[in-house]
Amino acid sequence: MNELVAPGLPPQSPIALKGYGVIEFGEDDQGARSPPARRSYIAIAVLCYLNLVNYMDWFLVPGVLQHVQTYFKLRDSSAGLLHTVFIICFLVAAPLFGYLGDRYNRKIILSAGVILWSGVTLASSFIPEWMPWLFFISRGLVGAGTASYSTIAPTIIADLFEKDRRTCMLSLFYIFIPVGSGLGYIMSSGMAMATGYWNWGFRVTPCMGAVGLAFLIFLVPESSRRGATEPTADKVRGDSTWLKDISSLCKNWSFLWSSLGVTAMSFIVGALGFWMPVFLSRAQLIHDAVPPCQQEGSCDTSNSQIFGGITIATGIFGVIAGAEAARRFKKTNAMADPLICAVGLLTSSPSMYLAIMLAQESIIATYIFIALGEFLLSLNWAIVTDILLYVVKPTCQSTALSVQIFVSHLFGDAGSPYLIGIISSEIQKRQAGASSYLASFRSLQYSFVVCCFVGALGGGCFLLTALRIKEDRLEAAPPPPPPVKGTENESYVRHEGEVQGELPVS
């Protein structure tokens, strides 16, 4: 009997991955695949830890943005460009890493990425104040390094787990996006408060990255590319090229609409994540609750720590709630995943609007509605990747993920912090009669309204995804494996219920 070997799993008789709607074959199979080996769970622990460090590096700058602006003497428009440079380099590198991840050893690629982003982050902490251009370059190189991880790590998880277990592991992995983001705010601002210098926050995560690199090298097993356990994977991969993969993705409406929805999420998260601590500080400044930030060491960073704590808490509960809602509702409704994403975006927009408009009246009310809005946005993190993994054929999933990352960042958070900064600077110029502190607060307040409209558009994109999700999921399901000896005369019929994760109707 021919055997199929899944990465991290012992040899088994031929079965199909139930997450793709193909039933098992062989008399030894009892309707379920064997549980993943212990090393698979060790691997997911290492990948989650590195995802934590990855997103801490993403949000080091927003946590001490006032310090950085004061140190390098940057206006709002120039400060917003910092994140734009980071994301542009990230998205330029993402397709390259996606291509390499579909064809070469992913463990080596991830290791190189960790070395790049950790080394450059450490070096950036020593840049003098008269060389802001070098700090911009360093953020770009960090973005390129982190692209390797965000592109490839989810496909390794997809190799190691399947169906409900895969959704659970992806949820766990994506919990560390908001957790890492929040810790990035807290750690960088906390180090700035403790030392009086913003630079020290950039010297902690490289040490954490070095530990993660050692774990990656020694504890994560090498695995073959996505789809290697499927009997037709080698043939499909051998005939496929990058252009053919892109052509296939352009015809996949669920992939296209969901990618636009993810782009809207990225726009909102990028803009609010970068500017919200500064906005909260300016709101408290007009109430005389904090002193003005006029020189390095005098900037109050308590709002960064509070916002980081909110991001962590709402991220954890939001990802868990979204994954659990998807697990329950898609048993009875094949459109559950995109519908949950649509509800998350459509309801987060009014929450964010109330948060920014109430800031001048009550900072407590602002915190409450920020928490609600972030919770609703976090419902989608694990679900959007799961949608991609079951509407795209296994052999081009890394490419699909890299394209989605490219598009969502190009039209999302690559430009949203810069756009908010430009709008804010222009509004400040036109508020000649207002005090400088009130003008700087109102300029950001009015700029944030753009995010509310983008959220409504993103929710509409997920509603359109729901209309095509059934057809595209069936199309992405691989063909059944060849019959095992003794079962040649048994017929095989693929039912739509199997693709939805249900038992076939006999």
Cα(464)–Cα(392) distance, integer angstroms = 17
Cα(498)–Cα(194) distance, integer angstroms = 56
With respect to residue 500, please indicate whether it lies within any of the assigned structural domains. no
Q: Which residue has the higher pLDDT, 224 or 478?
A: 478
- Residue 388 domain boundaries: 36-478
With respect to residue 379, please indicate whether it lies within any of the assigned structural domains. yes
With respect to residue 352, please indicate whether it lies within any of the assigned structural domains. yes
With respect to residue 374, please indicate whether it lies within any of the assigned structural domains. yes
With respect to residue 316, please indicate whether it lies within any of the assigned structural domains. yes
- Model pLDDT for residues 379-391, shown as the tens digit of each residue: 987 788 889 888 9
Q: Which residue pairs, CB below 8 angstroms and at least 24 apart, start in 99-103?
A: 99/242, 99/398, 99/399, 99/402, 101/151, 101/152, 101/155, 101/225, 101/398, 101/402, 102/225, 102/226, 102/237, 102/395, 102/396, 102/397, 102/398, 102/399, 103/225
Confidence at residue 32, expressed as pLDDT on a 0 to 100 scale = 42
Confidence at residue 120, expressed as pLDDT on a 0 to 100 scale = 94
With respect to residue 499, please indicate whether it lies within any of the assigned structural domains. no
Answer yes or no: is pLDDT of 258 > 80.
Answer: yes
Say which range, 88-97, 120-129, 433-442, 446-455, has the weakest mean pLDDT.
433-442
Q: pTM for the full model?
A: 0.74
With respect to residue 504, please indicate whether it lies within any of the assigned structural domains. no
| CATH number of the domain to which 326 belongs | 1.20.1250.20
Residue 505 gets which letter from DSSP?
P
Cα(109)–Cα(384) distance, integer angstroms = 24
How many domains does the chain fold into?
A: 1
With respect to residue 28, please indicate whether it lies within any of the assigned structural domains. no
- Model pLDDT for residues 458-470, shown as the tens digit of each residue: 999 999 999 999 8
